[in-house]
Amino acid sequence: MSDALAEWQKTQEAEWLVYVAAGVIELGGVRAFNEGDPVPVSHVTRGVVRADQVRPAGQAASLAFEPPTSLPRGTLDQPEAPGDVVPIKRVKAAE
């Protein structure tokens, strides 16, 4: 694993593996997290999610973390995409 990838993974773990939702959490009237879903630390520290809506994730969470390497077919509502992953079309911004 490259140093950059290892650093990225540590950053993601620090953000996502500290808290889980203590129950269903809605943001703006829309369900954002189900009970047990990881909740980003930044949501709690910035007040997006109240501290009483989360609980510590526990040690088991870090054992299950695997960063995604691709998107499964149909993830972006493109079930006709060939192969096992959905191609992501890159578009240049208007100048």
Please answer whether residues 71 and 82 qualify as being in contact, where contact means their C-beta atoms are separated by less than 8 angstroms.
no
Question: Is 77 within the bounds of a domain?
Answer: no
In a domain, 72, yes or no: no
- DSSP assignment string, the chain: --HHHHHHHHHHHHHHSSEEESS-EEETTEEEE-TT-EE-HHHHHTTSS-GGGEEE--THHHHH-----SPBTTTTS-TT-SSSB------PPP-
What's the pLDDT tens digit per position in 15-73? 888 999 999 999 999 999 999 999 999 999 999 999 999 999 875 554 455 555 555 55
The residue segments making up the domain with residue 37 are 3-64
Number of domains into which the chain is organized: 1
pLDDT at 90 over 60: yes
Q: Is residue 50 part of a domain?
A: yes
pLDDT (0 to 100) of residue 43? 93
* pLDDT the model gives residue 61: 53
In a domain, residue 19? The reply is yes
Q: Per the domain annotation, does 69 fall within a domain? A: no
